């Protein structure tokens, strides 16, 4: 009988899907919906996964199966694997100190970690807790220039040398299934309140002893009485600059002297503008299918964008990565590396730092195995001839 393992021995977890099942069982339903759901009919959420299934992999015979070279140069640094943990907001809903657990798992494996503006752990707390972290900082454009400038200075002071500006969440997508868990704004329905009580481990891990965490990066800008989850959420909702445009990005390029990436790009014309502004890279992303439902899948957008980006800026992708073979396909279609989102969140929700590390190790092992099975000895050998369009029924 086929069924996922749902126990505590991570050595018996053999896929990201298995980690996801452990996370689903551990989390209250409203938290699971926040983690796994998408916008409206979830067309883009589903397409992100289906796009990888639409591509097959070519294999070459008679290639000795030595350990393949999985190193990749990304933005001036050689990574042992072509991946990093991408920015995700309010991870403390999954596991207390989730940002620290994720950063430690990434750092232990020589990979960068991206901290969100909407993280529960502040920039300062993270670098104190994770010595040696290769910290990237994800930023939303803020209405108040004093807040934005201070966040930039704090990121620089924390040792961040890579800034990622998110451009596809100036207004939030219609996440209707998420909203149905609430009777009114931030007030769970009675059914969900009862479901929370059925998850004592989560209550102890996340809520005890001081309740849900606030957003650490934003609390310095809040009055003392509003330094809590509700105050933080209200603040970022008011501060999100809905008028973000290319002129503002040009000013940010002048202000931030280190590496600057634009996240949320899906169209080749936008890549051309990013190149013109002198950006260091773009992240091909549809926000995990949580914003515009019906938007192009990240992988399909990558295939269209790669010819414009090649040799001009770094090209990264997020959305739908669940297997090492998915990473191979993304690189073959032009990505320099991938950002991991839900894959590592499933891990941290299941077992904290150890679970996040297990997710990274599974993807690492699957990537190496896929390369051996393809007869590919180095990531640099991957190109458009490494993949083919599978016949669809």
Catalytic residues: 287
DSSP H/E element including 184: strand 182-184
Peptide bond into 161 cis (omega under 30): no
Query: What is the CA 282 to chain-centroid distance, rounded?
Result: 14
Contact 112, 79 (CB under 8 A): yes
Contact 40, 293 (CB under 8 A): yes
Distance (Å, whole) CA 63 – CA 350? 38
Closest CA to 386 of 324, 327, 328: 328
What DSSP line would sit under 5-65, residue for residue? --SS-GGG--SHHHHHHHHHHHS-HHHHHHHH--STT-HHHHHHHHHHHTEEE---SS---
Residues flagged as binding site for glyoxylate: 34, 140, 175, 263, 287, 290
Contact 102, 344 (CB under 8 A): yes
In the three-class reduction of DSSP (H, G, I as helix; E, B as strand; rest coil), residue 137 is classed as strand
Closest CA to 286 of 373, 184, 168: 168
């Amino acid at each position: 009988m086929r069924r996922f393992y749902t126990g505590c021995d991570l050595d018996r977890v053999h896929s990201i899907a298995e980690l996801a099942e452990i996370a689903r069982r551990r989390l209250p339903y409203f938290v699971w919906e926040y983690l796994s759901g998408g916008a409206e009919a979830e067309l883009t959420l589903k397409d992100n996964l289906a796009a990888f299934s639409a591509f097959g992999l070519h294999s070459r015979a008679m290639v000795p199966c030595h350990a393949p070279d999985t190193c990749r140069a990304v933005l001036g640094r050689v990574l042992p694997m072509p991946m990093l943990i991408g920015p995700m907001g309010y991870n403390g809903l999954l596991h207390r100190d989730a940002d620290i657990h994720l950063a430690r798992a990434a750092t232990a494996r020589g990979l960068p970690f991206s901290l969100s503006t909407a993280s529960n752990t502040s920039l300062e707390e993270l670098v104190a807790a994770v010595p040696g972290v290769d910290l990237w900082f994800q930023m939303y454009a803020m209405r108040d220039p004093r807040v934005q400038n201070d966040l930039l200075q704090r990121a620089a002071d924390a040792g961040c040398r890579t800034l990622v500006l998110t451009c596809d969440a100036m207004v939030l997508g219609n996440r209707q299934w998420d909203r149905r868990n609430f009777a009114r704004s931030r007030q769970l329905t009675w059914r969900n309140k009862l479901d929370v009580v059925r998850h004592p481990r989560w209550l102890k891990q996340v809520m005890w002893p001081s309740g849900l965490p606030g957003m650490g990066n934003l609390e310095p800008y809040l009055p003392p009485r509003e330094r809590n989850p509700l105050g933080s959420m209200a603040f970022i909702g008011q501060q999100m600059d809905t008028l973000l445009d290319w002129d503002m990005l040009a000013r940010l390029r002048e202000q931030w002297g280190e590496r600057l990436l634009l996240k949320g790009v899906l169209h080749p014309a936008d890549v051309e503008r990013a190149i013109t502004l002198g950006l260091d890279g773009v992240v091909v992303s549809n926000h995990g299918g949580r914003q515009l439902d019906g938007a192009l899948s990240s992988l399909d957008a990558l295939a269209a964008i790669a010819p414009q980006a090649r040799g001009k800026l770094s090209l990264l992708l997020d959305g739908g990565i669940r297997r090492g073979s998915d990473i191979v396909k993304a690189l073959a279609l032009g990505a320099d590396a991938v950002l991991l989102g839900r894959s590592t969140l499933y891990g941290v929700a299941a077992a904290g730092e150890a679970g996040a590390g297990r997710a990274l190790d599974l993807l690492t092992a699957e990537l190496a195995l896929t390369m051996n099975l393809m007869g590919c000895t180095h990531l640099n050998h991957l190109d458009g001839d490494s993949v083919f369009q599978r016949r669809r029924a």
